[in-house]
Structure 1
Amino acid sequence: MNVPLSVLDLARVAPGESASEGIARSVRLAQTADKGGYARVWFAEHHNARGIASSATALMIQHVAAHTSRIRVGAGGIMLPNHSPLVIAEQFGTLEALYPGRIDLGLGRAPGTDQATMRALRRDGREADRFPADVVELHGFLSDRSPIPGIHAYPGEGTEVPLYILGSSLFGARLAAQLGLPYAFASHFAPAMLHQAAQAYRHDFDPSGPLAGPEAKPWFVAGVNVLAADDADTASDQRRKFENGWLQGALGRDRTFSEDELEMVRRHPQGQQVLSMLEHSVVGTRDQVVIGLDTFAADVRADELIVVNMAFDEDQQHRTLELLAPTGTA
């Protein structure tokens, strides 16, 4: 690989499985990524999602960091409108105190859920308007320059936990550029604006932005779905299982589709639209996937790729990570 590889773990909980089992699987996969030389593993904040175990994102990060030794662990991301910057600074300052030099903090402005759940979070949607100011405030709490006189994030102050802006539109790209921060684009499920966002971020990047470090330069992270197997048939079979799960999750929340129904859904225009969200997916044998990832990274001038593992079965999830491991552990 020509750029660093990282992992975005969606912390899935399979039907009939307990949350404990899903979390344990995430730990095992993080250990494989740790051993394989991946740069980081991130978890995202989602709410009211039965099949996702990372709603308490900071707790998930702490647990995984405790069971790994080298890999950076972080949020991809924390939905900042759901929280006060002070609380997030305290949480991630605590994580940094526990695991020095291993914690990342990616920030998004979406609620990470639906409208009803947003109300249950005591939010009304207007909090997203404060996102740029909240990012600046959070950065201040994590530095030694508190944005509010007399208010300090203990622990957190002075930790300088690295911040990343996350997004799937030009808004996040331009904000990250203006602030002088790294930017991660969610092209693994929102491919439409990838090229425009990448171009805007690099064009507008301000190395003297208010949150830029002393040697700031653009750092663009692109999300991509991957599945590597020892043979093409296994890769194809695992991809189809993943896509069926994707269709079920997107279109069958109130019912479970049969295999015949999934085939009908797959052929329906709405099903095709849902599958088009996975446009940026690279599937095949190791050599095919490495070539595909290098091509993708070059096309969007990515400095780093963060991969979502498309393998359906856990053994194949580990095999994907092993085959693509930067340190060549396959």
Structure 2
Amino acid sequence: MAVPVTILDLATVHPGGSVKDTFDASVDLAQHAERWGYRRYWFAEHHNMPTIASSATAVLIGHIAGATSTIRVGSGGVMLPNHSPLVVAEQFGTLATLYPDRIDLGLGRAPGGDLAMLRALRRDPSAAEAFPQDVLELQALLGPERPGQTVRAVPGTGTEVPLIILGSSLFGARLAAALGLPYAFASHFAPAALLEALRVYRAEYRPSPAHPEPYVFAAMNVFAADSEDEARTLFTQVLRDRVGQLTRRGLPLPDRDADALLASPAGAQVREMMRYTAVGAPGTVRSEVDRFVELTGADELVVASAAPTNETRRRSYELLAEVLTA
């Protein structure tokens, strides 16, 4: 592949399917992705969302790592304000001990849910303000043991699990730059600040021993199919599903109602959220991906495909792998 490619699995529970079906499909896709040459397989933490089953992110990472052998597995990301750094260090230290040199720890500062969810987690919205300090604490807990250290992550200490800062604004870009860490921008759903954030990250980057140069992950959506018409049909269904999620808490809308909303300002917002999306047959998708990589100068591409069925999702990633390795 021209640049390494990471799959971001949204752990979508499709209509008529179960959470177990979702997890089985993730194992199947990760095993195929390993054979197809993808570098990483990530999950993102979400809560209280009926169509997304990645709430226990570390557990899923372990499940996928145990079903594969070489592909890196990790979080894209863990929402650190929802947890104490010690617990995250212990979880990912355990994963890194079980699966050496295969675990990534992407960190975000968004809650991954609503205020009711935060209350259920016994967290305060202001916890996000401590994100920079929590990252430093987590980094120290995963690093070598220090003289006089009174709190240790067991397992965790000395594992030095790779950290990646995730974000969709200049805040995350500046933090990643200041800490000398890789930066992943969530442009698959929040594209507005992409180019400015990457400019700031590179301009302000402070080299670190582990990362002497800045390293950018940039995310986009991909809907590849065997024909242009099939890919457009898949993408249209995804847009319909998105407007339904915005208006009825994840419940699907009849196509006529969804199309009417897509033609409204709310629909324009949904389309803008998916600005960076490659849709089409393999040749078209390859061209769109190449343009995105050139636009961002990404060191690594993150791809998400919320295709409406597990089968169309797997085929999309298969076709993408074929054209990127051709």
Normalised to the residue count of structure 1, the TM-score between the two structures is 0.95
- Cα deviation, residue 31, structure 1: 1.3
- Report the Cα distance in structure 1 between the residues aligned to 2:241 and 2:158, rounded to whole angstroms: 43
Map of 1:271 onto structure 2: 267
- Cα deviation, residue 315, structure 1: 2.0
- Cα deviation, residue 67, structure 1: 0.9
In the alignment, is the contact (CA less than 8 A) between 1:38 and 1:326 conserved in 2?
no
Q: 1:316 to 1:148 in 2, by over 3 A?
A: farther
| Number of aligned residues | 326
In the alignment, is the contact (CA less than 8 A) between 1:137 and 1:147 conserved in 2?
no
Q: Which amino acid aligns with 2:111?
A: P
Map of 1:196 onto structure 2: 196
- Report the Cα distance in structure 1 between the residues aligned to 2:253 and 2:211, rounded to whole angstroms: 52
- Report the Cα distance in structure 1 between the residues aligned to 2:146 and 2:193, rounded to whole angstroms: 35
- Cα deviation, residue 111, structure 1: 0.8
- Cα deviation, residue 6, structure 1: 0.9
Runs of 5+ in structure 1 lacking a partner?
A: none
Report the 3-state secondary structure (helix = DSSP H, G, I; strand = E; otherwise coil) of the residue aligned with 2:173.
helix
Q: Which amino acid aligns with 2:100?
A: P
Worse-superposed segment, 256-265 or 49-58:
256-265
Map of 1:283 onto structure 2: 279
- Cα deviation, residue 169, structure 1: 0.1
- Report the Cα distance in structure 1 between the residues aligned to 2:78 and 2:168, rounded to whole angstroms: 15
Map of 1:73 onto structure 2: 73
Q: Which amino acid aligns with 1:235?
A: A
- Cα deviation, residue 137, structure 1: 0.6
- Cα deviation, residue 312, structure 1: 2.1
Can you list the C-alpha shifts for 1:215-272, whole angstroms capped at 9, x where unaligned? 5210000010001111111111111111111111122217542121112111111122
Map of 1:27 onto structure 2: 27
Worse-superposed segment, 195-204 or 1-10:
1-10
Worse-superposed segment, 144-153 or 25-34:
144-153
Report the 3-state secondary structure (helix = DSSP H, G, I; strand = E; otherwise coil) of the residue aligned with 1:132.
helix
In the alignment, is the contact (CA less than 8 A) between 2:42 and 2:75 conserved in 1?
yes
- Equivalent runs, 1:151-166 vs 2, <5 Å: 151-166=151-166
- Report the Cα distance in structure 2 between the residues aligned to 1:257 and 1:34, rounded to whole angstroms: 36
Map of 1:309 onto structure 2: 305
Q: 1:260 to 1:215 in 2, by over 3 A?
A: closer
Q: 1:198 to 1:329 in 2, by over 3 A?
A: closer
- Cα deviation, residue 275, structure 1: 2.1
Report the 3-state secondary structure (helix = DSSP H, G, I; strand = E; otherwise coil) of the residue aligned with 2:101.
coil
- Equivalent runs, 1:1-330 vs 2, <5 Å: 1-146=1-146, 149-207=149-207, 212-253=208-249, 256-325=252-321
Q: Which amino acid aligns with 1:174?
A: R
- Cα deviation, residue 124, structure 1: 1.4
Runs of 4+ aligned structure 1 residues displaced above 3 Å come to: 145-148, 326-330
- Report the Cα distance in structure 1 between the residues aligned to 2:110 and 2:151, rounded to whole angstroms: 27
Worse-superposed segment, 137-146 or 171-180:
137-146
Identity %: 51
Q: 1:54 to 1:310 in 2, by over 3 A?
A: closer
Q: 1:110 to 1:214 in 2, by over 3 A?
A: closer
Worse-superposed segment, 133-142 or 242-251:
242-251
Q: 1:256 to 1:282 in 2, by over 3 A?
A: closer
In the alignment, is the contact (CA less than 8 A) between 1:44 and 1:76 conserved in 2?
yes
- Report the Cα distance in structure 2 between the residues aligned to 1:157 and 1:70, rounded to whole angstroms: 23
- Report the Cα distance in structure 2 between the residues aligned to 1:47 and 1:135, rounded to whole angstroms: 21
Normalised to the residue count of structure 2, the TM-score between the two structures is 0.96
Q: 1:186 to 1:120 in 2, by over 3 A?
A: same
In the alignment, is the contact (CA less than 8 A) between 1:182 and 1:219 conserved in 2?
yes
Q: CA RMSD in A?
A: 1.7
- Report the Cα distance in structure 2 between the residues aligned to 1:214 and 1:97, rounded to whole angstroms: 20
Worse-superposed segment, 285-294 or 70-79:
285-294
Worse-superposed segment, 10-19 or 41-50:
10-19
- Report the Cα distance in structure 1 between the residues aligned to 2:244 and 2:200, rounded to whole angstroms: 35
Can you list the C-alpha shifts for 1:83-127, whole angstroms capped at 9, x where unaligned? 111111110000011111110000001111101111111111111
Q: 1:254 to 1:297 in 2, by over 3 A?
A: closer
In the alignment, is the contact (CA less than 8 A) between 2:239 and 2:270 conserved in 1?
no
- Cα deviation, residue 136, structure 1: 0.6
- Report the Cα distance in structure 2 between the residues aligned to 1:329 and 1:192, rounded to whole angstroms: 30
